[in-house]
Amino acid sequence: MTLRFKIAAWFVLFIVIIAGVLWFLETEMLTKVYYNSKIKETEKVAMMLAEKCQTESVDEFRMTLNNVCYEYQVCISVFDSKQRAAWARDILYDNCLLHGYGNHSYRYVKELYESKTGTISLTEYDEKIQMDTVVVGVVIGEVGSGDGCVLLNAVLEPVGSTVRFQKRLIMIFVVVLLVIGCLLALLLSSHLTVPLMKITDSAKRMAHGDYETTFEGGGCREVDELAEALTYAEHEISKADSMQRDLVANVSHDLRTPLTMLKAYAEMIRDLSGDNPKKRNAHLQVIIDETDRLTALVNDILDLSKLENGSQKLEMKEIDATTWMTDIIARYKGVSEQMGYHISFTPDEHCQVKCDPAKMERVVCNLINNAINYTGDDKQVFVSQINTETAVRIEVRDTGSGIEKDKIQKIFDKYYRSENHTREVVGTGLGLSIVKAILKLHSFNYGVRSKLGEGSVFWFEINR
């Protein structure tokens, strides 16, 4: 169902409800209210006449009858003590229920005398004029005195023509409202649907890979917000898309290099060095090294994806930060001495911290490995522990060439590797991404300071 149709339907429903309420008020309520007030008025007039009949002179009473008859539009019959019609006033030319052929006066008089209250008030349908009327009777003097009575008959529907007119007016009003409502619904829906349709077109273009398309709002705040949200989504999708493309390019590049080497050395062994054990062993060693590189890359990819999709849970333990760090540094001794590196550790006071030690060890090792790889010719790496009030801060400093300011933002991204890295520096380009993922999982602070030509300091804080 289209938005336009829905809005129009709601408008029509609204108008129909308004028309129904008006109709109900006009036909039911107004008629009832009018009937009641007319009956009450007639009763009052009857009382007044019953009183004046006793107090006024004949001439005065005649005048009163004339006035009442015309003013209140009622037919009047006054009966004396012998039930003879003493006075009569007729406004309906013998068509009322009190006068003319087949009138019901005597029945009403009888009912009146039989009533205990000395009054009657009956709503009667007058066949002759085909309208609802009210017949009111009041005895003169004390109830049961037999001094005579006053009967009045008034038409209850003088508003009939007014009601009919108003009903027609309501009909016209409803039709006009319907036309205006439909026009308004049309205007409103175009006001809303046009920007929505534009947004839909843009979204379709985006779905086909056009990330330059713009989402225009307009119409109302919700549509503006939708456009904003989609622009944001477009930005993020385009980022993810380009990252994915980079990732595929980087992975395939990183896979292709060792694979080419593997093939080349395997062919060399087959064609050249197969019979020469020394050469063959050297070539086989290259194959083994490249296979290790491949394994490391694939493992890093798997680990990172596990860390990022949340399938790896932290196994938190309380550890002594100084002992833990000293153990890790000790493991580097052999390697660093063989290759001529000097890794120094400056501990602080012993301090208990809570973290997942296995994962945090990976963070420390990745940072030290990087420092080893990128440090200067003096081959120095400085690791220090600094206790603060809330955390234990570990800093890994090298004396390398440092990182340019604009690159610092990118080094924690997946597969970011500086263009000037050399093949000697073994790395998958995922080391810092893994560091970032583990520290984020722990909600630990981390960062890097670097000065060109002086080296870099990578740091993180283990909360106490």
Residues near ligand ADP, by CB under 6 A:
370-371, 374, 398, 400, 403, 411, 416-418, 421, 427-433, 456
DSSP 418: -
CB contact set of 224 (below 8 Å; sequence gap of 6+): 217, 218
Closest CB to ligand ADP: residue number: 427
User: Is 250 in contact with 415 (CB distance < 8 Å)?
Assistant: yes
Task: Output the smallest distance, CB 315 to ligand ADP, in A.
Answer: 24
For ligand ADP, give the closer residue by CB, 300 or 356.
300
Structure tokens at 456: 């870099």
Nearer to ligand ADP, 164 or 342 (CB): 342
Q: Tell me how far, at minimum, the Cβ of 217 lies from ligand ADP, in Å.
A: 40
CB of 432 to ligand ADP, least distance (A): 3
Place of tokens 């050469």: 279
- What CA–CA distance (Å, rounded) separates 36 from 34? 5
Give the nearest distance from C-beta 214 to ligand ADP in angstroms. 35
Shortest distance (Å) from residue 384 CB to ligand ADP: 15
Judged by CB, which is closer to ligand ADP: 110, or 451?
451
d(CA 223, CA 193): 10
Q: What is the DSSP string of 28-89?
A: IIIHHHHHHHHHHHHHHHHHHHHHHHHHS-HHHHHHHHHHHHHHTTEEEEEE-TTS-EEEEE
Phi and psi angles of residue 120, each rounded to the nearest 5 degrees, phi first: -135, 155
Smallest distance, Å, CB 345 to ligand ADP?
17
Residue 417 C-beta: closest distance to ligand ADP, Å: 4
DSSP letter at 312?
S
Q: Which is nearer to ligand ADP, 322 or 433 (CB)?
A: 433
| Smaller CB separation from ligand ADP, 217 or 400 | 400
137 or 431, CB closer to ligand ADP?
431
Nearer to ligand ADP, 124 or 454 (CB): 454
- Which CB, 166 or 433, lies closer to ligand ADP? 433
Say if CB 43 and CB 122 are below 8 A apart: no
CA–CA dist 117, 138 (Å, integer): 9
Q: Which amino acid is at 229?
A: A
Q: Smaller CB distance to ligand ADP: residue 200 or 346?
A: 346
Quote the least distance from Cβ 419 to ligand ADP, whole Å. Answer: 9
The Cα–Cα gap between 187 and 343 comes to 75
Q: How far is the CB of 289 from ligand ADP (least distance, A)?
A: 16
Q: Residues 191-197: contacts with CB within 8 Å, 24+ apart?
A: 191/219, 192/3, 192/7, 192/219, 192/220, 192/223, 193/2, 193/3, 193/4, 194/218, 194/219, 195/219, 195/223, 195/227, 196/3, 196/223, 196/226
